[in-house]
Amino acid sequence: MIREKAYAKINLGLDVLRRRPDGYHEVKMIMQTVDICDDLTFEKREKPGIGFCIEGANLPADENNLVYRAATLLMEKRQIKEGVSITLHKRIPIAAGMAGGSADAAATLRGLNALFRMGYSVEELKESGVTLGADIPYCIRGGTMLSEGIGEILTPLSEPPACHLVIAKPDIDVSTAFVYGHLQVDKLSFHPDIDGMAAALAAGDLEGVTDRMGNVLETVTVKEYPVIERLKKMMCGLGAENALMSGSGPTVFGICKERETADKIAASIRKEELAEAVFVTEFVRGECEKYI
Ligand code: ATP
């Protein structure tokens, strides 16, 4: 049996450069793995095909699930005739801007590559993954990465200095397609300084990172859901270095120097019932290799 952890991500910075004629958006973002994960297991079974079940979430275990789609893709590509049973234990909030589905799909590509000894390289898994979703290539290895193109051009960056995170997912589901569909790239009055943030990471300068946090997708999602702005203000007011919406939202994260600050913010969010899920956690640190 193969076990895989599928880690969630946040975006320390997210910029959109332009909308391509094919409808995809060209992005420039800094991705960072956080210590919240789904667990997956992969086991061979006698019956051909894919058996799939989900624990911990009310999500249909059908052929639309990214786990099922990733498994089908790889098994058809390698013409695997044996069967597989997959279980997914869900913890990452769904439709949250934390790439939960992409992380599960990436873990499935890694898990089946190992289980059936397919011998695909990381690059080959990324190429398969991008056909299912733009964040999947990043999720194959995770870590701290600059993500460009539509998400398939990845450059490793220095990991951020040690700090603590408070992460809050309000009780609303946000469709990534809706947010990108309503983004007016030409009218953006602000672009986050992604290059400056990469330099601050290289210098180990936490304030240089937090001072440059920005996400252009807030222009769409915050207008729709004011609770996001409220959470950001609350986090900063209670001592976070800075706070930002992750991905297309609605999840908001705050970066704190002290664990106590993150705990205090989490307690206030719970008390005011501003979120359906609140985590106090950290970045996943260390070598990217541990994801493969
Ligand atoms: P991203 O940050 O990449 O935009 P997200 O965190 O906003 O992702 P997901 O949790 O990946 O969003 O889910 C988006 C939609 O994908 C859900 O509404 C769900 O129906 C579908 N989905 C398919 N497979 C999965 C999965 N394994 N886990 C969660 N959602 C999935």
pLDDT band at residue 286 using 50, 70 and 90 as cut-offs: low
Q: Give pTM, 2 decimals.
A: 0.95
- 91 in Cβ contact with 167 (< 8 Å): no
Question: 97-125: per-residue pLDDT in tens?
Answer: 999 999 999 999 999 999 999 999 999 99
pLDDT of 287 reads: 52
Q: How far apart are CA 166 and CA 280, in angstroms?
A: 5
Q: Residues enclosing ligand 1, CB less than 6 A?
A: 59, 65-67, 94-102, 104, 135, 176, 247-248
Query: Coil, helix or strand for 278?
Result: strand
Q: Tell me which H or E stretch contains 158.
A: none
The answer for 15, left when phi > 0, alpha when psi is -120 to 50, beta otherwise, is beta
Residues 133 and 173 in one domain: no
In a domain, 25, yes or no: yes
Domain final residue, candidates 157, 186, 202: 157
Residues 42 and 76 in one domain: yes
Domain final residue, candidates 157, 184, 206: 157
Supply the CATH number for residue 246's domain: 3.30.70.890
Q: How far does residue 208's CA lie from ligand 1's centre (Å)?
A: 31
Q: Tell me which H or E stretch contains 21.
A: none
Cα 142 to the center of its chain, rounded Å: 9
* Buried-exposed string 252-278: b where 16+ CB fall within 10 A, e elsewhere: bbbbbbeeebbebbbebbeeeebbebb
In a domain, 286, yes or no: no
Nearest CA to ligand 1 atom 14: 95
Q: What is the mean pLDDT of residues 220-225?
A: 93
Strands 49-55 and 83-89 come out as parallel
Domain final residue, candidates 141, 157, 173: 157
Query: Coil, helix or strand for 115?
Result: helix
Give how many domains the chain has, as a whole number.
2
Closest atom, ligand 1, to C-alpha of 134: 3
Active-site residue numbers? 9, 135
Q: What is the mean pLDDT of residues 261-272?
A: 98
Supply the CATH number for residue 32's domain: 3.30.230.10
Q: In the structure encoding, which two tokens stand for residue 233, read together?
A: 């203000």
Query: Coil, helix or strand for 266?
Result: helix
What is the extent of the structural domain holding 229?
Answer: 164-281
Question: 240-251: per-residue pLDDT in tens?
Answer: 999 999 999 999
